[in-house]
Amino acid sequence: MARLKARLKATAKLGRRGGRRSSIACCLLPLLTLSTGGCVEQLLSIDSDPSGAVVVLNDQEVGRTPVTTSFKWYGYYDVSVRKDGFQTDKAKSPVIAPWWQWVPFDLFAELLPIRLTDQHFLHYTLQPITARLDDPNRLLRQGERLRGELETGANEPRTRPVKNATTKPATRAKSASQPSTSSTAESSEVR
């Protein structure tokens, strides 16, 4: 009997230690799974024709085309693409979330043990500046011509004459027989 009690105590001690170990393992296993889970990488690639243009994204310069940058938020981005000798292209470009980034799917996408990549592409074609727009003498001549038109009144608005136009007074003249307005009537009653 004493031997049996000693064995039971020994297994109870092992069981307690084994129980602690199994509870620690049960806690660490989900934490390990969550920490090794994948995440979503969000990339925005901007390209232009011709390449080598400076890209400004929401008032921050991100580089020269072709450029790839990471982003955090979906929505509309103010994009400005400029290069010497070409007209600057400014646009509000949409960056829309894929279905797996919508609530509640985004939670599962973050917990998957693989890395997901959401990449958006924007392409801009820059137009060359023509000599006509760039010629300062042409702009001066056009400004002088417009100033002359303003001074002579050549561009005065032309309106059609109104037929049988009469002006009627908006209010009638008050006579002694007409009652006074309500505010003065109230003030005379208070007296």
Report the number of distinct structural domains present in the chain. 2
Q: Is residue 180 part of a domain?
A: no
Tell me if 163 is assigned to some domain: no
Q: Which of 110, 131, 152 is the last residue of a domain?
A: 131
Asked if residue 122 and residue 49 are part of one domain, the reply reads: yes
Domain end, chosen from 108, 131, 154, is at: 131
Which of 111, 131, 151 is where one domain is finished?
A: 131
Tens of pLDDT, residues 86-142: 999 999 999 999 988 888 888 888 888 888 889 999 999 999 987 565 678 888 888
CATH of the domain at 120: 2.60.40
User: Is residue 60 included in any domain, yes or no?
Assistant: yes
Share the mean pLDDT of the chain. 76
Same domain, 53 and 14: no
Ordered alpha helix ranges (H), 36-130: 105-111
- Do the domain assignments include residue 177? no
Q: Is the dihedral of CA 68, 69, 74, 78 positive or negative?
A: negative
How confident is the model at residue 186, as a pLDDT?
Answer: 44
Q: Is residue 114 part of a domain?
A: yes
161 within a domain of the structure (yes/no) = no
- Using a cut of 0.75, tell me whether the model's pTM lies above it: no
Mean pLDDT value across residues 66-82: 94
- Give me the domain span that covers residue 23: 7-36
**pLDDT number for residue 109:** 81
Q: Which residues contact 101 (CB under 8 A, 6 or more apart)?
A: 40, 74, 109, 118
State pLDDT tens for residues 53-67: 999 999 999 999 999
159 within domain boundaries = no
My answer on whether 114 and 83 are in the same domain is: yes
- For the chain, how are helix, strand and coil distributed in percent, rounded to 5? 40, 25, 35
Tell whether 108 is covered by a domain. yes
